[in-house]
Structure 1
Amino acid sequence: MYRNTSTPADDNGCGWFHLSPPRDVRPGHSGRTEARWVVLGAGFTGLAAARQLALKFPQDEIVVIEGQQVGFGASGRNSGFAIDLPHDIGAHDYIGDPATARMNLKLNHFAQSMIRTLVEQYGIDCQIRADGKYQAAVEEKGLAVLQAYRSGLDKLGQAYEMIEARDLPEHLGTSFYRQALYTPGTLLLQPAALAMGLANNLPANVSLYENTVITHLEQGDKITLRHANGEFIAHELLLCNNAFASHFGFLPGRLLPIFTYASMTRPLSVEEQARLGGKETWGIIPADPFGSTLRRTPDQRLLVRNSFSFNASGQAQQRYLERAARQHRTSFDRRFPMLPDMPFDYTWGGSMCLSRNHSSYFGSLAPRVHGALCCNGLGITRGTATGTLLANWLAGEKDELTDFLLASPGPNRNPPEPLLSLGVNLNLNWGQRRAGLEA
């Protein structure tokens, strides 16, 4: 028996969530439900796993449990980049080993294809656009990263364009950056709206329960999941809840819930859009991993995301949110002096599940318990791909992508507390200071 001592508790400031098309929230669970397949977590991974299980086992009921509302948690709090290229933040060129990078490229393309198909099939209004992404730099070390990334893309034979400072305002409006590397394959989208749209269009044999917080997990011939108003009995359990899996005794001391923070402006007026210039939509990721990510959305809002904290509980903390909001103002004003005093309508935090060796987990964790966990900052594509492939594997299907995932060493072990929290937060603070103008 494991008692979950840390339950999902995100802040209420997520702009993506509040700006999503309205939906009918599925009711919470009560009583006792037994099912062959139970999926814990209704983010991109869990929704993909549930959909694929329903297609592979059409006679079975698939149960999906979500502790909050769909789109309110981590899946709805990222910056909306469905990245096609390998994005190994632990490698100096973001590529790392070429053979591994090529498999990650196939995984990402697999996920992008699924997302495009589902969005078109169900008419999901999630502002999806094939805009690509800019990786931009302003300091010398950032420029060096772009050159390293360029060499990695050459090894993979992937298309890109190097854009110099004089030409960047035509693309981005701002003249802040000295150079950018543009790659055309990234999809930009509204992540909370995508998650909600996927939840609204699950197969008929999927039962989704929202606002149902599991507090106890008991292993035996079957898996018992208890909550305040009842229990689920699972013949097979799929954990798709990232770092929260460790609070049920799986991968203990191996997962890192790292929070990052974003602010979003009100919509720009027509005059402000003209003053900014550049393309009408774009996405920027930083050359330095501790730098700022930015979006210009189809509804003409500007988003800035930076600042990090390690929240071991996986829950939001107000003091970090307030600190991040101050950094967002500084970062925004550096980049957009032509838009002084632009207010932020929303500020929020959201967690990424990282591991120290940048490896994910895929496969069985215990008898009748399976997991696709730890997306390392690529939740949209990695979650979609691994959730789908986990369901295929449980249905007895394997391919080169499944073999690749099963061969991963998985997340390595972290130092014990309190050294872990102290060390990670010191490292995050130092990284943000070292980022300089990239932040």
Structure 2
Amino acid sequence: MTKITSLPADDQRCGWYHLSPSRQPRPGHSGQRSARWVIVGAGFTGLAAARQLALNFPDEEVLLIEAQEVGFGTSGRNAGFAIDLPHDIGADDYIGDIATARTSLQLNLMGQDLLKELVRQHGIDCQLKACGKYQAAVENRGIAVLDAYRRGLDKLGQEYRMIEEAELPSHIGTGFYRQALFTPGTVLIQPAALVKGLADSLPANVTLYENTPITEVDYGERVQLRHGRGSISAERLILTNNAFGMSFGFLKGRMLPIFTYASLSRPLNDEEQARLGGKPYWGLIPADPFGTTVRRTPDNRLLIRNSFSFNPDGRSNPRYLARAIARHRESFARRFPMLPGVDLEFTWGGALALSRNHLGYFGQLAPNVYGALCCNGLGVTRGTVTGKLLADWLAGEKSELIDFLRESPGPNPNPPQPFLSMGVNANLSWGQYRAGRES
């Protein structure tokens, strides 16, 4: 028997969650159930896997288990970028090996297209805007990153535009940045609203249980999942719970639960919008991976996202959240000095499942156990497409994309504790220090 010693415990102040359309959560499971297909984790990956399994096996029930409420966890806490382009932060040009980059582009575009079609088909109100993204720099080191990224995009044959300092305020209002590289393919979303909408539009043969944290698992001819109010027997178990997959006994010591933090301002009034200027909505990521992500949302709020912490148990820590709030206020003031009276209304943390070699896992974990885990910060698009393709593979389908995912060596092993925490914390501190004015 495997006891699950680490369960999700996110903070209560996620702005995306509180501002998204309200919904009635599905009841938690109680009693005993048995099913052929059971999925643990109802984020982007789990929702896509459940949807596709239900379509592939229309006469079979699919059970989808979520420890918290849908939209409250990690998938509803990101910055809301559904990115199309390869985003390999381990490569100097963000592109890396060109053949791998082309396949990654294919995967990301498929994930994006799946989400856009579901939003259209089901009328999901998630502020979806196909408006591209800016990657911007203020330090010389950041300018060099943009130049390298431009060369990578040239190799990949992708469209972009370099925007210089004098022109940038007409795009994003602030004159803080010296240069930006604009790529048109990114889609911006309200992530909690999208996840909620995806959950409420699942096929009829998917049963979603929310607020049902699994506490024990027995792996055998059938997998037995236990929780505080009952148990579920699965012929086949699919894990789509990212770093919490380690608590279920898989990929132990191969994933890194890294938290990053975001704040949303109150809505800007008409006069403040005029002072800011620029386009009515946009998204900007930093040239330096440890810098600050910024968004202007369609409801006229400004988002600031920066600061990192290593939370080995995958759970929120109030001490780190308090530190992030102070940093967000400083970052906001540097970028928007024309808006001195605008408060930050919500601040929250959310986990990324990262690996040291920036690779995820796709395939069979054990007899009757399968997984799509470790999205490395691309959960919106990559989580969606890997969940869908895992369900297709389990239905016997074959494709080059499935082969590509299955042939990946997966996440590298981490050093043992306490060296792991010492090393990760040192790297996070040094990276945030080096980011300088990009933070």
After superposition, the C-alpha distances for 1:321-378 in whole angstroms (9 at most, x for unaligned) are 0001111011110000000132111000000000000000000000000000000000
Take 1:268 and 1:408, find their aligned partners in 2: how far apart are those partners?
Answer: 46
Q: Is 1:429 aligned to residue 403 of structure 2?
A: no
Take 1:209 and 1:243, find their aligned partners in 2: how far apart are those partners?
Answer: 20
Unpaired runs of 5+ residues, structure 2, are none
If the length of structure 2 is used for normalisation, what is the TM-score?
1.00
| 1:367 counterpart residue number | 367
Q: Which runs of 4+ in 1 moved over 3 A?
A: none
Q: Secondary structure at the match of 1:32?
A: strand
Which amino acid is the alignment partner of residue 420 of structure 2?
L
| 1:66 counterpart residue number | 66
Using the aligned pairs only, state the percent identity.
Answer: 68
After superposition, the C-alpha distances for 1:144-170 in whole angstroms (9 at most, x for unaligned) are 000000000000110000000000000
| 1:389 counterpart residue number | 389
After superposition, the C-alpha distances for 1:92-127 in whole angstroms (9 at most, x for unaligned) are 111010100000000011011100110000000000
Which amino acid is the alignment partner of residue 217 of structure 1?
V
After superposition, the C-alpha distances for 1:286-336 in whole angstroms (9 at most, x for unaligned) are 000000001100000000000000000000000000001111011110000
| 1:284 counterpart residue number | 284
Which amino acid is the alignment partner of residue 165 of structure 1?
E
Alignment of 1:295-314 (within 5 A): 295-314=295-314
| 1:163 counterpart residue number | 163
| 2:343 counterpart residue number | 343
Alignment of 1:23-102 (within 5 A): 23-102=23-102
Take 1:417 and 1:232, find their aligned partners in 2: how far apart are those partners?
Answer: 34
Backbone CA RMSD of aligned residues: 0.5
Alignment of 1:175-324 (within 5 A): 175-324=175-324
Take 1:118 and 1:101, find their aligned partners in 2: how far apart are those partners?
Answer: 26
| 2:415 counterpart residue number | 415
Query: What's the CA shift for 1:88?
Result: 0.5
| 2:357 counterpart residue number | 357
Take 2:415 and 2:361, find their aligned partners in 1: how far apart are those partners?
Answer: 19
Alignment of 1:89-128 (within 5 A): 89-128=89-128
Alignment of 1:123-134 (within 5 A): 123-134=123-134
If the length of structure 1 is used for normalisation, what is the TM-score?
1.00
| 2:12 counterpart residue number | 12
Query: What's the CA shift for 1:277?
Result: 0.3
Take 1:341 and 1:427, find their aligned partners in 2: how far apart are those partners?
Answer: 35
Q: Secondary structure at the match of 2:370?
A: strand
Q: Secondary structure at the match of 1:125?
A: coil
Which amino acid is the alignment partner of residue 349 of structure 1?
G
Take 1:137 and 1:113, find their aligned partners in 2: how far apart are those partners?
Answer: 29
| 2:402 counterpart residue number | 402
Q: Secondary structure at the match of 1:390?
A: helix
Unpaired runs of 5+ residues, structure 1, are none
Take 2:345 and 2:438, find their aligned partners in 1: how far apart are those partners?
Answer: 23
Take 2:427 and 2:157, find their aligned partners in 1: how far apart are those partners?
Answer: 34
Q: Secondary structure at the match of 2:166?
A: helix
After superposition, the C-alpha distances for 1:18-57 in whole angstroms (9 at most, x for unaligned) are 0010111000100000000000000000000000000000
| 1:3 counterpart residue number | 3
